[in-house]
Amino acid sequence: MHHHENTTSDFDQLRGIIKNLIQDNDEFVNSHPPEYFDPFELQQHPRATVVTCADARVHTQALDKTPDGDLFMIRNIGNQIATAEGSVEYGVRHLHTPLLIVVGHVACGAIKAAAGNYSSESDAIKHELNSIQLAVKSDELTTEDWLRGVIANVNNQVNYALIKFADEVKEQTLTVVGAVYDFQNVLGQGQGRLVIVNINGNVNTKHIAASLLALR
């Protein structure tokens, strides 16, 4: 049986990573008095169910200053609902969040993979990529088609949710929103901008702008 030999530097690196996490958590504990945890110590009342990509460049602080107790987070490769349907359902039907938001992002590796030939991936990865359906399939996606794929997947996931939660949307207890987190500023609205691309299936940008103005 083959054993992977950890070199000293591997070990030092790992120790550094864990040490850093513990230090950051220490800082968090010291800067958050017990009162901070009071509102959600015994229960959670999140205001949104969020389905987002597991990508390391996408995090809650970009869309919520204090996400604790606020966001019911579901993360996976390609921000898809089908492989995490129970979790999404829990947020909507048990925690009754009035908002379900699907957040895709620029330069998503899962979208690139799903557009190409991923037959050599493991069954577990294939299973997740299978729920990303794209019109343009290519192993060498152009930047434009990659971005189109990201947006198309967000729209597909919103449509999936609109069918699944049709009753809640009809009763207006749930709004389903699709967004793209743009850490490259390819959409020209600022680096780090969360760009709304879909509200309850409406992808008309003028209509979206009007809806967002009404929210202010």
Closest distance of CB 12 from Zn ion, Å? 30
- H helix runs in 32-130, sequence order: 34-37, 85-89, 109-115, 123-129
Does 134 bind Zn ion (CB under 5 A)? Our answer is no
Closest distance of CB 175 from Zn ion, Å? 23
Closest distance of CB 79 from Zn ion, Å? 7
What residues does 199 pair with on adjacent strands?
Answer: 177, 202
> Per CB under 5 A, which of residues 53..92 are in contact with Zn ion?
53, 55
> Per CB under 5 A, which of residues 196..215 are in contact with Zn ion?
none
Nearest residue (CB) to Zn ion, 71 versus 113: 113
The CA radius of gyration of the chain, in Å to the nearest whole number, is 20
Nearest residue (CB) to Zn ion, 146 versus 165: 146
Phi, psi values for residue 189, rounded to 5°: -110, 15
Closest distance of CB 40 from Zn ion, Å? 28
Sign of CA pseudo-dihedral 150, 151, 152, 156: positive
> Per CB under 5 A, which of residues 93..112 are in contact with Zn ion?
108, 110
207 burial level (CB within 10 Å; 0-12, 13-18, 19+): exposed
Classify strands 71-76 and 48-53 as parallel, antiparallel or unpaired.
parallel
Q: Which stretch binds Zn ion (CB under 5 A): 6-14, 16-24, 45-53, 170-178?
A: 45-53
Phi, psi values for residue 179, rounded to 5°: -145, 160
Nearest residue (CB) to Zn ion, 55 versus 145: 55
Closest distance of CB 100 from Zn ion, Å? 18
Cα–Cα dist 83/1, whole Å: 34
Chain residues that interact with Zn ion, rule: CB under 5 A: 53, 55, 108, 110
